[in-house]
Amino acid sequence: MKPMGPLPPEFAGQSGPLTIAGVAATDWAADTPVFVYDAAIVAARVARFRAAFAGIDLHYAIKANPLPALLERVAPLVDGLDVASGGELELALAVKPATAISFAGPGKRDGELIGAIRAGATLNVESEGEAERALRLGDELGVAPRLAVRVNPDVELRGSGMKMGGRPSPFGVDAVRAAALVRRIVAGGADWRGFHIYAGSQALDAGAIIDTQAATLALAERLADEAGHRPPLVNLGGGFGIPYFAGDVPLDIERVGTALTAAVADSALTAAGTGYAIELGRWLVGEAGVYLTRIVDRKESQGETFLVTDGGLNHQLAASGNFGTVVRRNYPLALARDVGGTPIEAVSVVGPLCTPLDRLGDRIGLPHADPGDLIAVFLAGAYGATASPAGFLGHPPAREVVAG
């Protein structure tokens, strides 16, 4: 048997039939496959962040999970929403005032820039060219655009799953050119909102995040000096990871919070009135989601037992190991009618797609399972439904429901 990642704390303590938000998984799964998101788990993560990061704004990066019914629940709990397309901007504007929305991402089309400028959302500009287009479009609309400068930092987030700094990048302008861009934006009549500095994603090492945040803060101070303008807001990025795989240890966010609140208190920018934000996606919503899929067939081949389910990588690409991981490892899975039950056999859980990539669990240990039983795939709240190739092979999309 190969190991699986740890169940999120809200589920790790359960035994017997799985419940989500107090309701039996079988009740959620009248139709499968289905994603169930427990809003109370998201609220608990927000509360934990608030307790650890006094005085730091919390933004939700909605690409992690843009389901409107979930956004409605999350929006009132956070200070801002970060979007990365015109489509996400529309979703965010439905639940949050434009002044609490920032729009990052390379290759923003003119129509997207116009939408953000008209609405009054902040554009995190990714290049000098994009800044010029935003200034020109703002002139044409007779609106001073709200522009922040995304900086490609000269630091990277050590140990992060996806590095976004310290190298050539399509994201942001290189730190050496950022101050000049700030001056240009201010001279061009824009409402300069500050810096956006994002150094990586999926980090579990508190020490690495603390070092990166300190370097990010120092960079923001240096750039503000160089530009001769004080940033209203420094968006320090995020990068908080969750444990997906065996051996992963949860991030000690309280340690990060203690270090960041101390560093911010010491900063000259803070004394002059700068505010700070952290933007999080997966840490807020990843553990809140469970993907439930039903076993359609059980078969043996050359000594290996396969449980074939009605959903797979078409809905939950990340669990199949094909979304940003180099080595395939097992997400936490369970037999929904017997969570924590004694594993008596090694089985591979595969989806219905006609490709060997469609494997949700590779030789994992489970209690005996038969067709009709439900398999729960945990950590399905972030980068699940919308980050998977739902159209591939023409199976129906998964349902998504918000619980709690």
In the complex, minimum distance from the CB of residue 18 to ligand PLP, in angstroms, rounded to a whole number:
25
Q: How far is the CB of 269 from ligand PLP (least distance, A)?
A: 21
Minimal distance, residue 203 CB to ligand PLP, in Å: 9
Residue with Cβ nearer ligand PLP (145 or 381): 381
* Cβ count within 10 A of residue 42: 26
Farthest-apart Cα atoms in the chain, separation: 71
Indicate the burial class of 242 (C-beta count within 10 angstroms; 0-12, 13-18, 19 or more): buried
Q: Which is nearer to ligand PLP, 84 or 335 (CB)?
A: 84
**Sequence-ordered list of residues with C-beta below 8 angstroms from that of 390, at least 6 positions apart, any chain:** 314, 315, 397, 398
Measured from the CB atom, is 65 or 314 closer to ligand PLP?
A: 65
CB of 293 to ligand PLP, least distance (A): 23
Q: What is the closest distance, in whole angstroms, from the C-beta atom of residue 388 to ligand PLP in the complex?
A: 15
Pairing of strands 304-309, 289-301: antiparallel
Residue 55 per-residue DSSP state: T
| Shortest Å, Cβ 106 to ligand PLP | 10
> In this chain, which residue has its C-beta nearest to ligand PLP?
281
Cβ proximity to ligand PLP: between 175 and 295 the closer is 175
Shortest gap between Cβ of 279 and ligand PLP (angstroms)? 4
In degrees and rounded to multiples of 5, residue 200 shows phi and psi of 160, 180
Least distance (Å) from ligand PLP to the CB of residue 59? 8
> What's the one-letter identity of residue 237?
G
Total length of the chain = 404
Q: Whose Cβ is closer to ligand PLP: residue 84's or residue 251's?
A: 84
State the DSSP string of 286-345. GGGEEEEEEEEEEEEETTEEEEEES--TTT-GGGGT-SS-SS--BPPEEETTSBTPPP-E
* Six token digits for residue 323: 């979304």
Q: Which is nearer to ligand PLP, 124 or 330 (CB)?
A: 124
Q: Is the CB of 28 or the CB of 49 nearer to ligand PLP?
A: 49
User: How far apart, in whole angstroms, are the C-alpha atoms of residue 398 and residue 390?
Assistant: 8
Write out the residues near ligand PLP by the rule CB under 6 A: 61, 63-64, 82, 84, 104, 198, 201-202, 238, 279-283, 382
Q: Whose Cβ is closer to ligand PLP: residue 63's or residue 96's?
A: 63
Strand locations in 19-105 (E):
19-20, 23-24, 34-38, 57-61, 80-83, 101-103
